[in-house]
Amino acid sequence: MKKPLTILSLYVAVAGLTISCSSTAPTYLLKFKYIAGSVLSYDQTVKGTVTAKEKDSVTTDRVNTVTTRMEYTIRRIVDDTTFEVVQTATSQSHSVSKIDSVVVDTTENSPEITMYIAPSGRIQDMVMGGGKDGEHGAYWKEYFRQGTPVFPAQPVSVGHVWTQTFSVTVDGKPVSVSTTYTVSGIEKKQGYDCIAIGYVGKMVIPFDAAPSDSSKRRGVDRISMNGVMYFAPKEGITVSQIEKWVLDGDRVKLVKGTEVAYTVAATYDVDMNLKGIKMP
């Protein structure tokens, strides 16, 4: 009389195991879904310190706070595969010197940057605006190349990890740097269902002197970064991003005809949030 019950129990156990094994975690395809003619506005706050040294002497020691309104205009979609995005920014900067207590407040508009971005986030090309800031185009191209996540082609679930590795030439030798991204969870941000993507990595950015720079500053910056990006997969936009980065730079400048070596150290906390979307 117990045999049918035993068989039934075994069947239930096996069926339960099968159901358990066949259930899968939700997956999400990460890609940008910009709409031509739309404008995305973000507010960004950057707080931190900058110190410069020549040998053992501190020449700069400042506490800086910079608030920036950034707008990204989706000008068009090229060949149905690439977004042409124009970035404009207006910044208010508050800087206090620890050396002499001098306070400097400035407001400035950054030059336009035109970026060509694939749905995966890969930046295909960048064109800097005019003016002196435009002379640093090579620096910012390398910054965005190394620091922008390129989403995996396949759908991902919580726990998915990928690493981006780049080769950079410094003093004629290749240097390898990388950033690792982890899908860490699902969170609600500003009413959007977001994928939280944690990341940790390093960038190395060499740069030459700008033509208009009389001191001919050049060198290499090494940046360590650690942060979380909140991406809304349904809408295909970044909603928020927080980041801490540390910069160590080795540089040379021209002082009265003589090259002087110096170092720069900076630590910043960055907080960026979506503030609005204008549809065409």
pLDDT in tens, 153-168: 999 999 999 999 999 9
What predicted TM-score, i.e. pTM, was given to this entire model?
A: 0.87
Residues ≥6 apart with Cβ < 8 Å to 132? 210, 212
Tens digit of each residue's pLDDT (9 = 90 or more) over 29-50: 999 999 999 999 999 999 999 9
Residues ≥6 apart with Cβ < 8 Å to 226? 199, 200, 243, 244, 245
Q: What is the CATH number of domain 25-278?
A: 2.30.230
Look at 172 and 273; give whichever has higher pLDDT. 273
**Confidence tier at 136 by pLDDT (50, 70, 90):** confident
Measure Cα distances from 117 to 41, 84, 105, 148 in Å. Answer: 17, 7, 34, 11
Query: Residue 68 and residue 107: Cα distance in Å, rounded?
Result: 10
Look at 111 and 49; give whichever has higher pLDDT. 49
**Confidence tier at 213 by pLDDT (50, 70, 90):** confident
- Extended strands (E) in the chain: 39-54, 57-78, 82-97, 103-117, 123-128, 161-170, 173-189, 192-207, 218-232, 237-255, 258-278
Domain boundaries, the chain: 25-278
Using the predicted structure, report yes or no on whether residue 183 has a pLDDT greater than 60: yes
Predicted confidence at residue 214, as pLDDT, reads 84
Look at 171 and 273; give whichever has higher pLDDT. 273
